[in-house]
Structure 1
Amino acid sequence: MNAHNPALFPRRTVHLDFHTGPDIPDVGRDFDPATFARTFREARVDSVTVFAKCHHGHLYYGTDRPERHPGLAPDLDLLAEQVEALHAEGIRAPIYLSLQVDEYAAREHPEWVAHDEKLGIIRWTDSAFNAGWNVLDMSSPYADHFADQLDEVLRRFAPVDGIFVDMCWTQPSASRWAVDGMREEGLDPADADHRVRYANLVAQRYMARYSAMVEKALHPDSAMGVWFNGRPKTGLTEERQFVRHVEIEGLPTGGWGYAFLPYVSRFVRPLGLPTLSHTGRFHESWGDNAALKPRAALLYENSQMLSQGLTSGVGDVLHPRGVPSPAVYDLIGSVYRHIEACEPFLDGGRVLSELAVIVDPGLGDNPGPSNIGAVRALQQLRAQFDVVPPGADLGGYRAVLVPETTKVDEALAERLQAYRQAGGAVLLVGPALLRDGGEPALPDLPVEGLAPAPAGESFLACEGVPGVPEDFPVISHGSRLTALARPGAEVLARVVEPYFPRSWDRFCGHSYTPPADGGEEVAVAVGGGVAAVAVSLLDAFHRHGLETYRLLLGATLDRLLPDPLLRAGGPVHLETAVVRTATGTVVHLTSFVPSRETPELDLVHDPFPLVDVPVALRLTTAPRSVRLQPAGRELEWRHDGEYVHTRVTTVDGHAMLVVEHD
């Protein structure tokens, strides 16, 4: 372990929850600084986020403030001893404070709790007699109360490695402070949209205030700053002014799911800010303290982070007596040793993407079926892609995909046209084919006659799509636009209508009236570097998972990018990422299969072996070597002048193909 150096961004972190209620006695009773820090060092952890203030509103350091935890021994400065012990082992110790959840403040000042439009207090529960957190109103004097706490922590522990401020969402309120504030801003407190606008304005102001405070107390060489947790990452294009780095909270079994990180990481990555991601050692979510997830799941989640250019984070909960659990750190250490072994091959690397998926940031971090469908399909097709907002610079991408839920307004249409004129390829899906819902989004679309089609089922007859029979029309779920192919366009799918629309008094069979004959209407056409998909292909893929949809999308992309950066066989769930380093190119191969085993949880128990999987990386010169890392195994390869080809067998779930070249 290196000496403590805040200039290095942490790679293997632990977020050490310590939400300890006031009725818990003996807080920190068994804490031993040397044992505490050694536990993390042996688990290969290089940063531990430790608590100054928890959701209960209690403080865990030496202070005369009344919020100090009543169960903490008077002579124990727990946070100070934790920080000192971690620093002695070369481990960073960013400090945590809870913001909008503070039970002590809510009890002492109930008027500071946020109010709904009926002037009821806002809590994380449906009854005053159920356990649940109160939500504080940041337009109330509580904002100054928190500033005083933060100021004391910063004065006490400066220079700090970083500050983690939790529970920072936009919370509308109808309190007297919020009402007065809205009136001062010329907003209408009776308007729900205005209450949201004001709450967001309040959030922007407290982030600016607290960020300025933290900046003055950071170590001069700190690679981290303050992080406001709970804000949507899709808002970072505006809020990055308040932060130096990004942290992504996303426990797959804790409500986020396994589709969350592949989407959000690809949105954050192009921003260029150092980013770490949090999963948890819990079987389910935060607070599931007495349950551990399988090692394979933790390995999958951290390998996924690594492949997306993020550093790793695992959430844990420290027992009130202050002793980390050996079982937890045996688990974390077993995964972090693998991550640590991979890191030298990725130093200074950047993830390569050749496709940009343009999404609406207003959808937040829960992007909806269309965008999730895009991410899942593109992962399965081995596409290397980023997720970007409409205003992003598209110059570094070879192709752009615009899903159904991204509105193509005048500004985006002009940017897409400029991108086309510079040689970029464009794929538009469903409503994205129409500018502001009216005229065609681009002048050189391969289709014409675009208009909303009547509701009702239809079918797709694919042509020239590998793996899809041409004589078997498949159901087309969701809405579509009518479209006719322009001369010279290549049609990949035509629309086939049923014999008649299905209704209560006229139907055939269990699900839909059978397909009749196809006409001139097309569903997918490509021409001149532009692809038009007139059906809701991405939304339908997410909702129904029909293989034909993915194969059709893949055939469409093949027309736009006939020489993709990477080709790989193997099982459909295989996830890939390509990283360029100073000495060559690294291809991540991640192979795990989450399976639905409870009504709400997708679980991972084992890695899925890869056996003789073909991999081809676009490379104009022959490589010096091709190895499978971190195992260090030399692989046979051949170079055809355009691609380097090899085959991979591994049973570990995550491996890296390291191709050294000029």
Structure 2
Amino acid sequence: MTVFAKCHHGRLYYSTDRPERHPGLAPDLDLLSAQIEALHAVGIRTPIYLSLQVDEYAAREHPEWVAHDENLKITRWSDSAFEAAWHVLDMSSPYADYFADQLSEVLERFAPVDGIFVDMCWDQPSVSRWAVDGMRREGLDPADADQRARYAKLVARRYMARYSAMVEKTLPPDAAQGVWFNSRPKTGLSEERQFVRHTEIEGLPTGGWGYAFLPYVARYVRPLGLPTLSHTGRFHESWGDNAALKPRAALLYECSQMLSHGLTSGVGDVLHPRGAPSPAVYELIGSAYGHLERCEPFLDGGRVVSEVAVLVDPALGDNPGASGIGAVRALQQLRTQFDLLPPASDLTGYRVVVVPESTRVDDALAVRLQHYREGGGAVLLTGPALLKNGTEPALPDLPVEGLAPAPAGESFLACEGVPGVPADFPVISYGSRLTARAAEGAEVLARVVAPYFPRSWDRFCGHSYTPPADLTEEVAVAVGGGVAAVTVPLLAEFHEHGLEAYRHLLGAALDRLLPDPLVRAGGPVHLETTVMRTTTGTAVHLISFVPSRETPTLDLVHDPFPLVDVPVALRLDSAPRSVRLQPTGQELPWDHDGAYLHVRVTTLDGHAMVVVDHD
């Protein structure tokens, strides 16, 4: 359980001679020590929390330490002095040493520590005198916004190195975790993992993160191989919503998602000023943790199995944009087992690589994709990813040729042999595309249909776009030789418009590249599946909840969505010893056809696991 040494107000919660000790604490009360002692007595570890860039005490006592924007305005979560809001401190100022003194005292006072959680650690550009002087020393131009951002990242990584070294000296030999720097994009972990022993994913779906956040970030963090704790909150909305509880089904959904991605589950709470935990809060948390406790014995030694790698641009951070979210949603709905990787990652072990339209294919990535192809891997490229450096084919064996930017405006897709999409009904395609012809021997899954005329201010038809007219020889989706080419921004379009034809088209292309996927499952579209290999076999997670938009900003979950007689097929070379639905223990009738294990599942609980015991 993470306990506070220092909060956003800059106040300290332990016995100290420092003036920032919380004035509301009784003189003889060492709150943090008492919490640690009580939790250790029942075998619970106690990582210690300190707020970094948000510190109201320091901001008031040293306003010169507050970060400033290019207009010399102080950095604050509100433009008004008369609205409650946090100030943001400048880590190039003497505040960095001030925090180091606080951290040093905590480490000396409580060593050996179970871990340190440093919060509010984003890259914060500033034009304070310390920041400007620092940029000049580094040869950077303070007047350039990009170089200010570059310096902010440099400052962050320097304080991470400094504080990490301080923490490492105070850890016990069997430390489960060291220091964690929160509020940083997980896509930077490939470079920043040197400062940490583990990863934490903060994501409150109703607190601004949304229900698409964890499925994206978890799949990026998993391949790094670091122990990972993910946490949501018990709040109806976000941090600070202390007098409102999340629906029970929502917390079960969020914790089950974490479990299915191989993450340790955490639930955030804020202690009431009276200092007593709320029974209602911990009964709610206990209801979800009780389910996890019943599931965990069947996941001993479990690791998530993925066979598709989606290459994403780390510069997008934890907000991957339309194509990233579109890829996650579409592949989840297709039951594809996939990870998200930076372009420089090792692709060994993946059967298919997907390059979304937002990932730039440069010379280095083109070479790596070609080596991957030569090793027998399949590749799917969408939109601009078909062109290396935006000018020439990304691979020499593309199933299309004559790639070039198409004129602006809508077009339509006439699908051929795509289950679920009528061949005689052209489907709208929004946004820019590339023109292309089918290469010899390629299988065409979709051709371009042109509108009667381009829509313009002085010539238009209908509310949205001109109707489709004639089929062209232009290709939108083609497959051949283990490569799929998609000339339209299919993944971004799926996120922005949700047209199921786009998912069917992507699925048809993947079926050509991966005809024997690890798992197949029927049931409702929203069903989420992940596969884990355990010490005794395989577990297939089935998660069925439906968030619904019930306020202008909140997607809420009130009930699990029942699964009734849902067919599930797992690729398995030999017949299993047993198949059960866990954690209920129900034995499932099964059939093995030599390649796949087939079962049918009914569950009303929102999360269940098909646990297969096999060699």
TM-score category (smaller protein):
over 0.9
Taking the aligned partners of 1:658 and 1:53, their CA distance within structure 2 comes to 44
Query: What is the rounded CA distance, in whole Å, between the counterparts of 2:103 and 2:300 in structure 1?
Result: 35
1:256 to 209, 217, 220: 209
Give me the whole-angstrom Cα distance separating, in 1, the residues matched to 2:412 and 2:368: 33
Q: What do the CA deviations read for 1:367-421 (whole angstroms, capped 9, x no partner)?
A: 0001100000000000000000000000110000000000000000000000000
Aligned to 1:42: none
User: Does 1:565 find its partner at 2:518?
Assistant: yes
Q: Which residue matches 1:239?
A: 192
- Asked if 1:473 is matched to 2:464, the reply is no
Are 2:89 and 1:142 equivalent residues in the alignment? no
Superposed displacement of residue 183, structure 1: 1.1
SS in 2 for 1:53: coil
SS of 1:317's partner is coil
* Letter of the 2:189 counterpart: L
Q: Take 1:605 and 1:576, find their aligned partners in 2: how far apart are those partners?
A: 20
1:74 maps to 2:74: no
Structure 2 CA distance, aligned partners of 1:586 and 1:315?
28
Among 156, 161, 166, the alignment partner of 2:109 is: 156
CA shift, 1:227, in A, is 0.2
Question: CA offsets per residue over residues 333-352 of structure 1, 9 Å max, x none?
Answer: 01100011111111211100
SS of equivalent to 1:512: coil
Q: For 1:157-196, what aligned pairs fall within 5 Å after superposition?
A: 157-196=110-149
What SS is found at the alignment partner of 1:573? coil
Give 1:117's aligned residue: 70
| In structure 2, distance between residues paired with 1:461 and 1:186 | 55
Amino acid at match of 1:641: G
Correspondence for 1:335: 288
| AA partner of residue 315 (structure 2) | G
Pair 1:643 & 2:593 matched: no
**In structure 1, C-alpha distance between the alignment counterparts of 2:513 and 2:144, rounded to whole Å:** 47
- Cα deviation for residue 195 of structure 1 reads 1.1
Alpha-carbon shift at residue 534 of structure 1 (Å): 0.4
Q: Structure 1: which amino acid aligns with 2:257?
A: Q
Alignment partner of 1:221 is 2:170? no
Higher RCO, 1 vs 2 (CA within 8 Å, ≥6 residues apart): 1
- Counterpart CA distance in 1 for 2:425 and 2:307 is 33
Q: Distance in 2 between matches of 1:53 and 1:67?
A: 9
Match in the other structure for 2:86: 133
Instruction: Using structure 1 for the length normalisation, give the TM-score.
Output: 0.92
Aligned with 2:2: secondary structure? strand
After superposition, what is the alpha-carbon deviation per residue over 1:464-514, rounded to whole angstroms, capped at 9, x for unaligned? Answer: 001111011111111110010011100000100011111222222222211
Match for residue 537 of structure 2 among 580, 584, 593: 584
Matched, 1:514 2:467: yes
Provide the residue aligned with 2:239 in structure 1.
Answer: 286
2:47 pairs with 77, 94, 102, which one? 94
2:125, 2:148 within 8 Å by CA — same for their partners in 1?
Answer: yes
| Aligned amino acid, residue 274 of structure 2 | R
Q: Aligned ranges for residues 509-548 of structure 1 at < 5 Å?
A: 509-548=462-501
Equivalent in the alignment of 1:597: 550
1:462 maps onto 2:415 in alignment:
yes
Helix, strand or coil for the counterpart of 1:149?
helix
Question: Matched residue of 2:269: which SS?
Answer: strand
Match of 1:35 in 2: none
Q: Tell me the SS of whatever aligns to 2:365.
A: helix
Rounded to whole Å, the distance in 1 between the matches of 2:582 and 2:139 is 60
Does residue 371 of the first structure (1) align with residue 340 of the second (2)?
Answer: no
User: Secondary structure of 1:432's match?
Assistant: helix
2:153 to 186, 191, 200: 200
Contact 2:7-2:55 at 8 Å conserved across structures: yes
Q: Which residue of 1 aligns with 2:162?
A: 209
Q: Which amino acid aligns with 2:258?
A: M
Query: Superposition pairs for residues 395-544 of structure 1, below 5 Å?
Result: 395-544=348-497
Per-residue Cα deviation, 1:249-269 (whole angstroms, up to 9, x for no partner): 110000000000000000000
Is 1:307 aligned with 2:260? Answer: yes
Q: Counterpart of 1:217 in 2: which secondary structure?
A: coil
> Structure 2 CA distance, aligned partners of 1:554 and 1:185?
49
Aligned equivalents of 1:163, 1:426: Cα separation in 2: 42
8 Å contact from structure 2 (residues 409, 430) kept in 1 = no
1:544 offset after TM fit, Å?
0.3
> 3-state DSSP class of the match of 2:169?
helix
State the alpha-carbon separation in 1 of the partners of residues 451 and 146 from structure 2.
44
Q: Mean alpha-carbon deviation: is it higher for 203-212 or for 124-133?
A: 124-133
**AA of the residue aligned to 2:451:** P
Q: Distance in 1 between matches of 2:161 and 2:300?
A: 33
Partner of 1:37: none
CA distance in 2: counterparts of 1:55 and 1:505, whole angstroms: 56
Cα separation, 2, equivalents of 1:292 and 1:199: 37
Contact 2:579 2:612 in 1 (8 A): yes
Letter in 1 for 2:164: S
Conserved? CA contact 2:322–2:492, under 8 Å: yes
CA distance in 2, matches of 1:522, 1:612: 39
Aligned to 1:350: 303
SS at match of 2:160: helix
The match for 1:549 among 502, 506, 512 is 502
- After TM superposition, give the deviation of residue 328 of structure 1 in Å: 0.3
Report runs of 4+ in structure 1 exceeding 3 Å deviation: none
C-alpha offsets along residues 227-275 of structure 1, whole Å, 9 cap, x if unaligned?
Answer: 0001110000000000000000110000000000000000000000000
Give the letter aligned to residue 513 of structure 1.
Answer: T
- Identity within the alignment, %: 83
Give the Cα separation in 2 of the matches to 1:244 and 1:507.
59
> Which residue type is aligned with residue 374 of structure 1?
A
> In 2, distance between residues paired with 1:455 and 1:191?
33
CA RMSD of aligned residues (A): 0.6
Q: Does residue 318 of structure 1 match 2:271?
A: yes
Aligned residue for 1:40?
Answer: none
> How far apart, in 1, do the equivalents of 2:603 and 2:455 lie?
50
Q: Distance in 2 between matches of 1:186 and 1:641?
A: 65
Measure, in 2, the Cα distance between the counterparts of 1:196 and 1:511. Answer: 40
Rounded Cα–Cα distance in structure 2 between residues aligned with 1:406 and 1:350: 27
Distance in structure 2 (CA, Å) of the matches to 1:590 and 1:489:
37
| Residues 266-320 of structure 1: per-residue CA shift (max 9 Å, x gap) | 0000000000111111111100111001000000001001001111011111001
Structure 1: runs of 5 or more not aligned = 1-47
Tell me the alpha carbon deviations over residues 98-155 of structure 1, each in whole angstroms, 9 at most, x when there is no partner. Answer: 0001111111111111111122211111111111011111001110110010001001
CA distance in 2, matches of 1:143, 1:641: 63
- Cα distance in 1 for residues equivalent to 2:18 and 2:300: 45
Q: Provide the C-alpha distance between the structure 1 equivalents of 2:51 and 2:246, rounded to a whole number of angstroms.
A: 26
Any idea what SS the aligned residue of 2:246 has? Answer: coil
